[in-house]
Chain A
């Protein structure tokens, strides 16, 4: 009697679970799974869109052949977007950790800075850049503002000279210059990770700090021996977030070139093939990262 009752409760639970997830199940099948299969189909076809229906023409592996062996640009774009990701992720994670530990201190104007640093999230979709790109004023203004501009070229030159004088190697100097010129991208990407780090830091119980200060630890000790180890699992979370973010963001060069081929040049078949190719590469990459990180997490336990 009792056994039967618990079983029926569990069953009822399972049933209501399905009902709660029903919208997503339907949506995923109709608007993610089905389109994905269709895109794979389209990548083997040429597509002609009419007013009432659309026609397809089977071309086999032609589009893939074109991407892999004929078209010189797209391969380079994919490789460069992966390279950019590999460059950005460690920099962004370190930068956001630094920002978070700055914002974790108490000082006047903290909320204002936090609000400003989180602002790029609002413009994450690249509306502003896509409208103003190739724009006379913004180009002009950006030249004035950025280090590569005319008025600041002298400063940039001296800065580089000082670095070169310090004899720390050309590679390092180039790396620093690269970082400076990318500061806008880096701050944009670091918005969410720094909030994640910040909330992780604030969730450490204050009694731990109190105890260590009573024992005579300095702020430096506390930072490296308590704050850093406590937050380190979040490094993995942020790495995954950054990778996914940089692969799927609308400002990614590979994504923009796919978008252009699909919706500006209206080459639907070729665009689908490019999208599938990119998705496959990204999928493999993310799978590798997941496996590596799983091991790391296991190691952390």
Chain B
């Protein structure tokens, strides 16, 4: 009797269904808590920075204030914006990094396409060079790059005619030169991603064009570029965002008024002028001012970032 009852219970579709629903909701609650915790770990420093940037000095000393300031103030932002020379540096940074990212996206697409679609003797060697560039930490060759641009002298020609070397680091030219030659920040990764992406596209696309009498460049411009548009946008965004937050390449190679260089100003001059507490407040609001544009770009184009990694062949072959 009891056996049949329990057997009936086990096979009662209603009970099985409620069990399933209960299990699912428990899993989804656990999943939510886990993901929420991890997200909190990621967002926490940013949140604490934002909270801190609105505090006044009194709040810092006050033990009862942890996150939300009692004396809410925009004063830090006004001061930090002044120290960063804000609207001007923001515009210069956007222009310089925008141009550099455009050049990088363009040159990396060219090279990636060349490596993916053409058979030639040095193809393998050039690809190895791309990988080498990917592996070299940028700091290793930063010094000689700096010296090359600081005492710029095209193949020693200037010296031959008795001219002094030119200091290119006072302009943004080094970044542009590195960008157009595909050797800038993380460009090895970009070339690799684009190569894999082009390898994944069907070959018949261009073959049709060749049969119709296109030359390779025409085929590239009118067939492959439209295909790679989304990928190029992703590369542009990645390189823009990484250049913006980069502390090695851009600040070393150019002394233009870009935001990153101004952060050194905050770091060095502010520490001398005022006490530690005021400085740290200013730093917080300064950092918020600097990363805010990047966060906005990321949030608006979030899909492009993630799809870029998905559609590049990194995940495939």
Judge whether B161 is part of the interface by a CB distance below 8 angstroms. Answer: no
Check if A16 sits within 8 Å of B136, measured CB to CB: no
Across the interface, A275 reaches (CB within 8 A) one of B51, B123, B139, namely B139
In the complex, A272 Cα to B114 Cα: how many Å? 34
Judge whether A209 is part of the interface by a CB distance below 8 angstroms. Answer: no
Q: Which of B6-14, B88-96, B225-233, B285-293 contacts A (4 or more CB under 8 A)?
A: B285-293
Across the interface, B31 reaches (CB within 8 A) one of A21, A32, A105, A203, namely A105
Check if B247 sits within 8 Å of A130, measured CB to CB: yes
Across the interface, A136 reaches (CB within 8 A) one of B42, B134, B276, namely B276
List of A residues within 8 angstroms of B217 by Cβ: 16
In the complex, A19 Cα to B178 Cα: how many Å? 18
Judge whether A97 is part of the interface by a CB distance below 8 angstroms. Answer: no
Check if B216 sits within 8 Å of A31, measured CB to CB: no
Distance in angstroms from A133 CB to nearest chain B CB is: 10
In the complex, A103 Cα to B32 Cα: how many Å? 11
Given contacts A17-B119, A54-B151, A118-B305, contact A248 B245 (CB under 8 A): no
Distance in angstroms from B301 CB to nearest chain A CB is: 11
Considering only residues 220-278 of chain A, those with a C-beta below 8 Å from chain B are 234, 237, 244, 247-248, 250, 252, 255, 258-259, 262-263, 268, 271-272, 275-276, 278
List of B residues within 8 angstroms of A60 by Cβ: none
Judge whether A68 is part of the interface by a CB distance below 8 angstroms. Answer: no
Check if A32 sits within 8 Å of B118, measured CB to CB: no
Judge whether A141 is part of the interface by a CB distance below 8 angstroms. Answer: yes
Binary interface encoding of chain B residues 125-145 relative to chain A, with 1 for a CB under 8 A from any of its CBs, else 0: 010011011111111111111
Q: Which of A35-43, A72-80, A159-167, A171-179 contacts B (4 or more CB under 8 A)?
A: A35-43
Check if B252 sits within 8 Å of A131, measured CB to CB: no
Given contacts A16-B217, A42-B144, A255-B139, contact A138 B45 (CB under 8 A): yes
Judge whether A116 is part of the interface by a CB distance below 8 angstroms. Answer: yes
Binary interface encoding of chain B residues 53-85 relative to chain A, with 1 for a CB under 8 A from any of its CBs, else 0: 001000010000010000000000000000000
List of B residues within 8 angstroms of A144 by Cβ: 66
Given contacts A13-B216, A17-B120, A122-B241, contact A279 B148 (CB under 8 A): no
Across the interface, B28 reaches (CB within 8 A) one of A107, A138, A248, A250, namely A107
Binary interface encoding of chain A residues 142-167 relative to chain B, with 1 for a CB under 8 A from any of its CBs, else 0: 10110000000000000000000000
Check if B121 sits within 8 Å of A263, measured CB to CB: no
In the complex, A137 Cα to B54 Cα: how many Å? 12
In the complex, A22 Cα to B201 Cα: how many Å? 23
List of A residues within 8 angstroms of B287 by Cβ: 127-128, 131-132
List of B residues within 8 angstroms of A54 by Cβ: 147, 151
Distance in angstroms from B122 CB to nearest chain A CB is: 7
Check if B129 sits within 8 Å of A28, measured CB to CB: yes
Binary interface encoding of chain A residues 281-293 relative to chain B, with 1 for a CB under 8 A from any of its CBs, else 0: 0110010000000
Judge whether A216 is part of the interface by a CB distance below 8 angstroms. Answer: no
Binary interface encoding of chain B residues 89-129 relative to chain A, with 1 for a CB under 8 A from any of its CBs, else 0: 00000000000000000010011011101111111001001
Across the interface, A259 reaches (CB within 8 A) one of B35, B178, B248, namely B248
Judge whether B209 is part of the interface by a CB distance below 8 angstroms. Answer: no
List of B residues within 8 angstroms of A105 by Cβ: 31
Judge whether A300 is part of the interface by a CB distance below 8 angstroms. Answer: no
Check if A117 sits within 8 Å of B39, measured CB to CB: yes
List of A residues within 8 angstroms of B242 by Cβ: 124-125
Judge whether A70 is part of the interface by a CB distance below 8 angstroms. Answer: no
In the complex, A275 Cα to B145 Cα: how many Å? 14
Considering only residues 25-74 of chain A, those with a C-beta below 8 Å from chain B are 25-28, 30-36, 38-39, 42, 49, 52-54
The 8 closest A-B CB pairs, nearest first, are: A27-B181, A20-B114, A17-B118, A35-B144, A14-B120, A199-B310, A27-B183, A16-B216
Which positions in B face A, CB cutoff 8 Å?
28, 31-32, 34-35, 38-39, 41-45, 48-49, 51-52, 55, 60, 66, 107, 110-111, 113-115, 117-123, 126, 129-130, 132-145, 147-148, 150-151, 164-165, 177-178, 180-183, 191, 215-217, 220, 241-242, 245-248, 252, 260, 263, 266-267, 276-277, 280-281, 283-284, 286-287, 290-291, 294-295, 298-299, 302, 305-306, 309-310, 314-316
Please name 14 pairs of A and B residues whose Cβ atoms are closer than 8 Å in the assembled complex, sorted by A: A16-B217, A20-B216, A23-B180, A25-B126, A26-B181, A28-B129, A31-B148, A32-B132, A102-B34, A131-B266, A136-B277, A138-B284, A141-B66, A200-B315
